[in-house]
Amino acid sequence: MGVEIERKFLVASDHWRSHVTRSVRMAQGYINDMAALREARQNASVRVRIAGDEAFLNLKSREPGPSRQEFDYPIPVADAEALLALCVGGRVQKVRHYIPQDDLTWEVDEFDGDNAGLVVAELELPAVDAAFARPAWLGEEVTDEQRYYNLALAERPYSAWSARERS
């Protein structure tokens, strides 16, 4: 179990691409009913993710703010495929690009499928108030905007957003 502190940003330009050292295609879905989680009848999300040739079962507590308990377990890819078939809500597909910066790593998620057009940069931090350098390509912070979370994107993808929500 780890406690995850993650900040999310939009990107202001495509200049992040030249800094990418590794990219992995991901497909993920949620076993949990979305409404049950949103309405606090369930306290943790249950996500199945295939990342390249690996797969993971991930549980994340639902708590306000940027810090939450996270549990991540490797599972066989064949299991993940069977579990994805049991998922509810939409499947979220993306390419995750890794950009090292000092001791940290930016993860830039370039979505496709129903979320095509959306690019979100995430940074996992060792502490809530940890300092970090902002690269020139970094855009507006959206850490507190629920609609950008993968969980929300599975239920209501980018293609369903209004023009105002996209800006």
Q: Which residues bind a second copy (CB under 8 A)?
A: 1, 31-33, 35-36, 41-44, 46, 57, 59, 61, 69, 71, 73, 75-76, 78-79, 82-83, 86-88
Respond yes or no: is residue 30 known to be catalytic: yes
CB of residue 59 to a second copy, shortest distance in Å? 7
Nearest Cα to Cα of residue 148 among 68, 94, 71, 97: 94
CB of residue 86 to a second copy, shortest distance in Å? 4
Nearer to a second copy, 33 or 145 (CB): 33
Q: Catalytic residue among 30, 73, 98, 148, which?
A: 30
Note whether 66 and 81 are within 8 A (CB): no
d(CA 70, CA 149) in angstroms, rounded, equals 15
Kindly report the backbone phi and psi dihedral angles of residue 136, in degrees, each rounded to the nearest multiple of 5, phi listed first. -60, -30
| 85 Cβ neighbours under 8 A, 6+ residues apart | none
Note whether 4 and 60 are within 8 A (CB): yes
Nearer to a second copy, 82 or 128 (CB): 82
CB of residue 132 to a second copy, shortest distance in Å? 28
Q: So which residues are the catalytic ones?
A: 30
